[in-house]
Amino acid sequence: MNFSFISGEAARASGELLVIPLFEGETGDKPPAPLAGANSSLEGRLVTAATQEGFKAKADQIFVMHTVGKLEAERVALLGLGSRNKYSPEVLRLAAGRAAKTAQRIKVRTLVFSVPETQDAPAALRALVEGLELGVYRFERYKSSAKEDKNAPKLTTVRLALPPGVDKTKEHEQAVALGQRVAGATNWARDLVNEPPNVVNPERLAQAAQEMGREGGLKVTVGGRKEIERLKMGMFLGVAQGSINEPRLIHVEYTPKNARHAKNPPLALVGKAITFDSGGLSLKPTDSMVEMKTDMAGSAAVLGAMSVIATLKPPFPVHAFIGACENMPSGTAYRPSDVLTSRSGKTVEITNTDAEGRLVLGDIITWANEHKPAAIIDLATLTGACVIALGNYIVGAFGDHDPTVYDVLEAARTAGEEMWRLPVSELQKDALRSEVADMKNAGERWGGAINAALFLKEFVGDTPWVHLDIAGPSVSPKERGYLGKGGTGVGVRTLVEYVRRRTTQLEGSEASAAPAAPASKPARGGRGKS
């Protein structure tokens, strides 16, 4: 999608669709300039028709009408933002997604978007761009009708009209560019999640990581079964042994070119990558298995975020660690009652082969920890219990290092991805106690999401760590704003924002630690102040 800024009144701009976002109450006596201009050109019919149709600028409303030649645009759309008191960039992001879907439905190529007046114009622009790019996303690669519709008009051009009196700045352009990169990475992650499991298996996921790395200038190392055996990842190997598709160990590295920055402790990102989860011998019911191609959504988000992080060039290394495999039932599959030995040396009694993600993650987190990271963040579609607790749109966040958890939650809030902190309570630890090994991989049903987090914590050591259970938000069950049915790419925006936040903090601490500049000397022949 091509974005550009235009000057002058939005109502006078040319395009197939003019979009005017509005807060509740703005269709009354003192409408904002873009609506006033469009309504005047349409001889008052725009507001009258919208009112008759029940448009009140609520957050889920959109009203579209033809301009019958009275405006440069062929159609005008009024887009509801809801109450101004409840506004956040995510409100605009969701609304822009609805506008994008409307533009697709009416086969619009060129759109003019009147940017609403807010306190933070760059944040609004980024949200708007992300909403539009995410909103037009569709995964129809395997539909014959989509191939026939290949030449149908698509939204390719967006002209952004800033509020009256606001001039375009470099910061505005940077916000648009960042929004495009983040949305592009999110849609790329969505593709990986939505692909069928006979296409995205561990090998193909590793290839996708390598392709992304080549484009972004990142170092990508891929290992197979022999490398996993060399690293003594017994839990990872146990999960992988039931499938005919070989496991892959993926390591993606961003290293700053500045030698001093390259010595900073790295940030470690870990993504769960079960490319298909049948449940193993503890077989899932059919209905629960249908969407288990999405059990690698954590790794997709981590890889998508790495593609953007490479362009941000933070002053510290960032590493992504991924163990990719399938969890399948077969004559070689691991069994309930097996005891597996992890890379850390801890032994684990298997009580449920469908609690496999934590096994792979345990070995991968141990491996990541050996790189002495400043912090570890893992993303995993880990537990149905977290979906029961928080639903389909809220990520469960776990961790006992308060500053790191706080920074991740703040990054999520800024990025518009909702997260809720859940406890990692030692009170639940008895649920993982084993009679024959150091611990069990699954305990009682109650507190299932906490139990899984406690299991992972056993492999973290003293490193600041945040576990994000994305089991609910990784897939959307319906269309909602910029979301369509299927993979969401959740986590990409938060990870990018976390790296940006960490960059600001590090640069601020470096600036405060820098020695003070020496006092300026008086000019020759002059006199210094006493």
Residue 8 CA to residue 19 CA, distance in Å, equals 15
- Give the active site residue among 168, 284, 346, 429: 284
pLDDT tens-digit readout, 282-291 = 999 999 999 9
- Predicted confidence band at 293 (pLDDT cuts at 50, 70, 90)? very high
* pLDDT value for 512: 73
- Give the active site residue among 98, 101, 358, 493: 358
Which residues have C-beta within 8 Å of that of residue 510, sequence separation ≥ 6? 315
Which one, of 86, 92, 305, 289, lies nearest residue 182 by Cα? 305
pLDDT tens-digit readout, 378-391 = 999 999 999 999 99
CA-to-CA dists, residue 218 to 170, 265, 311, 496, 500, angstroms: 27, 17, 10, 16, 18
Tokens 């197979």 sit on residue:
224
CA-to-CA dists, residue 193 to 170, 292, 332, 383, 517, angstroms: 35, 10, 27, 17, 52
- Predicted confidence band at 508 (pLDDT cuts at 50, 70, 90)? confident
* pLDDT value for 86: 96
CA-to-CA dists, residue 466 to 268, 359, 419, angstroms: 11, 17, 12
pTM of the model: 0.94
Which one, of 263, 272, 320, lies nearest residue 495 by Cα? 320
Structural domain 2-139+154-168, CATH architecture: 3-Layer(aba) Sandwich (3.40)
Please state the rounded mean pLDDT for residues 412-416: 98
Tell me the average pLDDT of the chain.
94
- Predicted confidence band at 518 (pLDDT cuts at 50, 70, 90)? low
- Predicted confidence band at 50 (pLDDT cuts at 50, 70, 90)? very high
- Predicted confidence band at 182 (pLDDT cuts at 50, 70, 90)? very high
pLDDT tens-digit readout, 342-354 = 999 999 999 999 9
pLDDT tens-digit readout, 324-378 = 999 999 999 999 999 999 999 999 999 999 999 999 999 999 999 999 999 999 9
pLDDT tens-digit readout, 142-160 = 988 776 677 778 999 999 9
Best CATH choice for the domain 180-511 from the list 3.30.70.100, 3.30.70.20, 3.40.630.10, 3.40.50.300: 3.40.630.10
Q: In which element (H, E) is residue 324 found?
A: strand 318-327
Among left, alpha and beta (phi > 0; psi -120 to 50; other), residue 54 is: left
* pLDDT value for 89: 97
Concerning whether 335 is annotated as a catalytic residue, the answer is no
| Spatial contact of 135 and 481, defined as CB atoms under 8 Å apart | yes
- Give the domain ranges of the chain: 2-139+154-168, 180-511
Residue 497 CA to residue 514 CA, distance in Å, equals 26
Residue 51 CA to residue 137 CA, distance in Å, equals 31
pLDDT surpassing 50 at residue 75: yes
* pLDDT value for 528: 38
pLDDT surpassing 90 at residue 515: no
- Predicted confidence band at 273 (pLDDT cuts at 50, 70, 90)? very high
Concerning whether 358 is annotated as a catalytic residue, the answer is yes
Please return the burial class of 508, using the count of CB atoms within 10 Å of its CB with bins 0-12, 13-18 and 19+.
exposed
